[in-house]
Amino acid sequence: MNPVNYLYLAALLFTIGATGVLIRRNAIVVFMCIELMLNACNLAFVTFSRMHGNLDGQVIAFFTMVVAAAEVVVGLAIIVSLFRSRHSASVDDASLMKL
Amino acid sequence: MSAAAVHSLWTTAATAAPIAKIDAPKIEYGQLSPSLIVVGAALVGVLIEAFVPRRSRYYAQMLLSAVALAAAFAAVVALAADGYGTTKAHIAAMGAIAVDGPSLFLQGTILLVGLIALFTFGERRLDPEAHGNRVDSFAAQAAAVPGSESEQAAVKAGFTTTEVFPLLLFAVAGMLIFPSANDLLTLFVALEVFSLPLYLLCALARRKRLMSQEAAVKYFLLGAFASAFTLFGIALLYGYAGSVSYATISQVVDGTVTSVDPALADTMGNDALLLIGTAMLVMGLLFKVGAVPFHMWTPDVYQGAPTPVTGFMAAATKVAAFGALLRLLYVVLPGLRWDWRPVMWGVAIITMLGGAIVAITQTDIKRLLAYSSIAHAGFILAGVIATSKDGVSSVLFYLAAYSFVTLGAFAVVTLVRDAGGEATHLSKWAGLGRRSPLVAAVFAVFLLAFAGIPLTSGFAGKFAVFKAAAEGGAVPLVVIGVISSAIAAFFYIRVIVLMFFSEPRPEGPTVAVPSPLTTTAIAMGVVVTLVLGVAPQYFLNLASQAGVFVR
């Protein structure tokens, strides 16, 4: 199968993730959409790696996974602390600071 | 297929040629020492959190962080004195890190900013004592729900979040690597290494914790969103060039690539990948810089974060992110400048005008400074557009000058307090000059520097940037820059007038007497502002010597 198709899939997944970030209200779901975007990046890296015939992209995919894991740790800590003090993880409710 | 043949698919006979040895990577530890010292100290700081008794953690962490930042700064100075900024500039760590003039200059700036920010982080005399314990600006226990019994218990027990010091060091370490990264992978990892601690630091305010947590969530979600764009841009550039190394990508952009293996030749060089990838990558960096259309997070995060963190973030993030942006545009994509310059023109114009105009309507001093930082990002972008050696050195000088003013200004904001903590509403600053002339005068110096009045560092920086931009053919941009400086001057002067020429309100805030830590931070800000304003030549020369990237 032509590997370019995987690039289209990566672009599609990235777009779905970005759309989700923009339209969903729950911070956890928004965060999952961001993870989807990062995974789309990984798919693109691995596909390009296959197309170019070098391993850089596959190695970068591992780095991305580690970074994504670290981001989950920090992100969930922040979102959980927000949820515990407000009893809501809606990003629309968090509006103390508006002009 | 015989059994032996199948077997040979995944085994090899012992007599076959031995596997070639893999060469160990060559790492120039001495040249990477600034970042290594800071990372090492941060790890020791984590161990201190684990093993040192709670009473002595604060002192141990302060000492460790101060020594580490000072030692790393000394290492930067030693490297620069050794000629690594000029003649011996080269690429270290197997092509991952560039040791050259801009990176040493920016690393020095970031380390000094980190050191001064450390002083404001460690300040323990501003908040009234809680149950006989001196407290700083950070939450007693970040995990405790605001207003809950567990929080009261933590306050009563005298807990403090000393984890902020290792977090500060990790952020500084990421920022040291960010502007000197010489491949896109290092760039991305450094971006995350400095962003993640900042997200956490934003959530740790002692007062107004709900606002602080909200700021952290906003910063985190938008920052992670932006870094996903950065990463996809990196993926597309990798698809374009078949490598993430800056040198290779720039060769492929220029069409001067020397040796390509046949598998790569068929797949690289697709201009759509280059243009979309560049756009997404630059978008991520402009987010960190806080340039308009990507500035939405700035006012909320600056307002909600603990003020020492805001000062550090405003100063150091800008330095690091502009350093990375400069290297990306000047080293990787100079062959694409006819494509990115018009876009950057637009971004610079709307950033300068947008920041200055929206700032006029602000009523909170921290939000006002946030919008002013957006406007300043626009001024610095004008220098980036110059695409000349003067452009690089003027941006370096501007970043150094601006970061100390910002730190000083936010340090002053921590002093003006009422019963609810910091009094950040502008109406409460009315008549401050009558009550505490010294504090108001110092703040006025910083505001004049922001406005770019002669004899302050802001003027020297703006002059250098606009001169470079005009020589680079961006005269209309300079005209708009001067106009938006004038607009910005209006609201800076308005604050000064408010402080000195209006009656103090009876229930107005008091000015807390700081410990020597914050006093040092503010004094450093004033000294640097005045020295860079009155006698900028030495530092301009330094920046111009440092203004050459290594490829």
Residue of B nearest to A42 (CA): B235
Strands (E), B371-523: 416-418, 421-422, 510-511
pLDDT in tens, B234-262: 999 999 998 999 999 999 998 887 666 66
Nearest to A67 among B189, B214, B267 (CB): B189
Q: What are the two backbone dihedrals, phi and then psi, of residue B220, each rounded to the nearest 5 degrees?
A: -65, -50
Element at B98 (helix H, strand E): strand B97-99
Q: Establish if A9 belongs to a structural domain.
A: yes
Residue of B nearest to A39 (CA): B228
Say what the pLDDT of residue B17 is: 59
Q: Rounded CA gap, B46 and B27, in Å?
A: 25
Nearest to B203 among A30, A78, A95 (CB): A78
Say what the pLDDT of residue A2 is: 87
Is the model's pLDDT at A61 over the cut of 60?
yes
Q: Establish if A60 belongs to a structural domain.
A: yes
State the CB neighbour count (10 A cutoff) for residue B47. 10
Q: What are the two backbone dihedrals, phi and then psi, of residue B292, each rounded to the nearest 5 degrees?
A: -60, 150
Say what the pLDDT of residue B509 is: 86
pLDDT in tens, B287-297: 999 999 999 99
Say what the pLDDT of residue A92 is: 83
| The token pair that represents B182 in the structure block | 């010489």
Is the minimum CB–CB distance between A78 and chain B shorter than 8 Å? yes
pLDDT in tens, B492-543: 999 999 999 988 888 888 888 899 999 999 999 999 999 999 999 999 999 9
Burial class (CB in 10 A: 0-12, 13-18, 19+), B279: middle
Contact: B217, A74; criterion CB under 8 Å: no
Domains in chain A: how many in total?
1
Say what the pLDDT of residue B224 is: 96
Q: Establish if A93 belongs to a structural domain.
A: no
CATH number of the domain residue A22 falls in: 1.10.287.3510
Is the minimum CB–CB distance between B361 and chain A shorter than 8 Å? yes
Say what the pLDDT of residue B256 is: 81
Neighbour-count burial for B163-177, b at 16+ CB within 10 Å, e otherwise: bbbbbbbbbbbbbbb
Q: Which residues of chain B have pLDDT under 50?
A: 1
Nearest to B314 by CA among B408, B207, B177, B455: B408
Concatenate the DSSP letters of all residues of B189-247 into one string.
HHHHHHHHHHHHHHT-BSSSHHHHHHHHHHHHHHHHHHHHHHHHHHHHHHHHHS--BHH
> Closest Cα of chain A to B253: distance in Å?
17
A96 band by pLDDT with thresholds 50, 70 and 90: confident
Residue of B nearest to A54 (CA): B242
> Closest Cα of chain B to A1: distance in Å?
16
Give Rg (Cα) of chain A: 17
pLDDT (average), residues A70-94: 91
Say what the pLDDT of residue B363 is: 92
> Closest Cα of chain A to B244: distance in Å?
8
Is the minimum CB–CB distance between B215 and chain A shorter than 8 Å? yes
Say what the pLDDT of residue B9 is: 63
- Tell me the residues of chain B between 286 and 305 that have a Cβ less than 8 Å away from chain A: 299-300, 303-304
Q: Establish if A65 belongs to a structural domain.
A: yes
- β-partners of residue B205 are B138
Q: Establish if A15 belongs to a structural domain.
A: yes
Say what the pLDDT of residue B8 is: 63
Q: Are strands B416-418 and B97-99 parallel, antiparallel or unpaired?
A: unpaired
Specify whether the CB–CB gap between B386 and B472 falls below 8 A: yes
Is the minimum CB–CB distance between B242 and chain A shorter than 8 Å? yes
Residue of B nearest to A4 (CA): B267
Q: Establish if A63 belongs to a structural domain.
A: yes
Q: Provide the residue range defining the domain that includes A25.
A: 4-86
When the pLDDT of each residue in chain B is averaged and rounded to a whole number, the result is 91
Q: Establish if A77 belongs to a structural domain.
A: yes
What are the angstrom distances between the C-alpha of B203 and each of B138, B314, B420, B534? 9, 16, 18, 39
Say what the pLDDT of residue B188 is: 97
Q: Establish if A96 belongs to a structural domain.
A: no
Say what the pLDDT of residue B3 is: 57
